[in-house]
Amino acid sequence: MTKIKTILFMVVGLMALAGGVVLVRNVQETRRGAYLSKLDLSVWPDSKTNMQVGEKVTATVKMDAKTYRISAIDLRMGFNSSTFEVESIEIQNSFDKKMKNEVVDGRIVIIAGNSNADETKLPTGVFDVAKIVFVAKAAGNLNLTLPEYQVPATQSSASGDNKMEMNFLPASYSVGGGGGASTPPVSENFATADLTINPVVAILKKGESTEVVVRVDAKQTRISGIKLDLVYTSNIIDPSNLVTSSSFDVPAESAVIDKTNKKISVYLVSSKAANSLPTGVIEVMRFKVTAVNSGLVIFRVNDNYLVTGSNPNSDVKTVGLNLGTGRVTIVETALTPVPTDKPSPTDKPTPTEIPPTGDYPVLNFKMAFEGMDVNGGCADGWPVTIIVLGQNGESKTYHNLTLQRDTAIKDRAVYRRSLELKGFNQTSNLAVFIKGPKHLQTKYGVNNQTAFYNMAGGQISVTNDVNSSIWYDFSKYPLLPGDIMAGNSEGQDGLVNGMDFARMKALAITHETWGEGQFRNGDLDGNCQYNSRDITLLKNSLNEKLDILY
């Protein structure tokens, strides 16, 4: 029987990412129904061969409770006691009542519960149940099973406890002859894999379609299984024609477009030998999206994804997965307020200041540039372009605007402006787009905004009185620098990409300095010098990559 040796790729970071659990075993096991309808219990590492007598392995029992909250757990796990013995069982801190953790009648018994009456405090998602230390004592296999269990669980949509069914993804450990011939050491690179969603951006009109493709660049790691949920933020698109990867020879256990929950789920495994598993760039899935309404859609992979891999030496390591984000921006042409005039990339622009007259609404706002040196001699006088977007697609663009430093704030560079919205008469449900002279355009929809505003329109209100209009603080979500090239020339094209990075690297190695108050396109922190910090700021912006247009 072919065994898939697996490894978990876990992700930590952007938007508070969650830990993972070993997935995908194509071993002989009994499945009691559809995978996605039950809880999952797995053991990590799930494979270890050619162990020596006396060698120890610490097995972590993990549960994926999905959306359920677990109030208690009672597990009776069978194992081959003639080959392995249990040295210790430690119930983890997911449970505050640890009632039994011992071997009884040849079975590992784990009984624990939670006394917290607040259901929202009960464990959910992926969490550790217990750690078991096995000691090899004779040639053979572990043969871990789960013949009995009880797991009461609750869900926010249901009342009371439900006794859940469970998929068990067991471990396979072998000692000496039980594991077959020894495999010579192989140096396999478990480098961080990259997940990409393409296109990075697509602008569609209603009725138009494009294809979205999800790929994993595993580099030299060989991939035995992929399970992920690709979620999207709005039903303004209609996904269809889902096609999964041909790199995996086992029929997909899950390949579903769930329009109700706005997600596309795939679960792919391979039964091939380790040295025949797919590697390099692997296409996970592709599907068609059709625009049905105006707005913005962002595609991203849920944090509970699981990707497993193997190498010929049966190495088991934990590595990272870089998550990409795909955007499909769907707008009517008239609702795409993109600035057309660009400030000069080399000469410091001459900003304009028009005092409010009281004849038009006034937008009072504060904003900041990411990475600005608070004491930088070239940090002031950077002009911005502002678009105000109202209801029914009405917008007005204001170019080359001067900003004043807010001197009351000492620890960071914050700028302010009272902008009279001449030629614009709407006063409520506004959105504001700000673009700096070397920055990606950013959308603001609420006061004290700290993250991407993922809704159409906005919630900003203004009046004609500069004194009664609210002061909107956008400084906690600063403009990202790095848009310094338009193709092969200095300028702005609404993207931060390889052209901008190459230009910034070429400038940084010169370490050129200049006098205070001067403007340079590649001086991203305003300290009057090209240096490595400018490169760092641009690299950070590569995660965002493009102007926010809607």
Give yes or no: residues 385 and 300 share one domain.
no
**Residue 5 falls inside a structural domain:** no
SS (H, E, C) 263-281: EEEEEEECCCCHHHCCCCE
Neighbours of 473 (CB within 10 A): 20
Instruction: Please tell me the pTM assigned to this model.
Output: 0.43
pLDDT tens readout for residues 133-146: 999 888 887 877 88
pLDDT tens readout for residues 2-45: 333 322 222 222 222 222 222 222 222 222 222 233 677 878 77
Last residue of a domain, one of 331, 351, 371: 331
**Residue 168 falls inside a structural domain:** yes
pLDDT category of residue 547 using cuts at 50, 70 and 90: low
**Residue 26 falls inside a structural domain:** no
Q: Can you give the residue range of the structural domain that contains 480?
A: 333-550
Q: What is the DSSP string of 188-220?
A: ---PPEEEEEE-S--EE-TT-EEEEEEEEE-TT
Give yes or no: residues 156 and 202 share one domain.
no
pLDDT tens readout for residues 174-215: 786 433 333 222 223 344 567 778 776 666 777 888 888 888
Give yes or no: residues 165 and 112 share one domain.
yes
How is residue 442 annotated by DSSP?
Answer: E
CA quadruple 344, 345, 349, 352: dihedral sign: positive
Residue 392 zone, left/alpha/beta (φ > 0; ψ -120 to 50; rest): left
Query: Which pLDDT belongs to residue 202?
Result: 67
pLDDT tens readout for residues 276-307: 888 888 888 999 998 888 766 777 777 667 77
Domain total for the chain? 3
Last residue of a domain, one of 308, 331, 354: 331
Give yes or no: residues 144 and 84 share one domain.
yes
What phi, psi does 348 have (nearest 5°)? -70, 120
Give yes or no: residues 322 and 348 share one domain.
no
Give yes or no: residues 378 and 306 share one domain.
no
Rounded Cα distance between 90 and 131, Å, is 5
Give yes or no: residues 312 and 417 share one domain.
no
Tokens 């990411």 correspond to what residue? 370
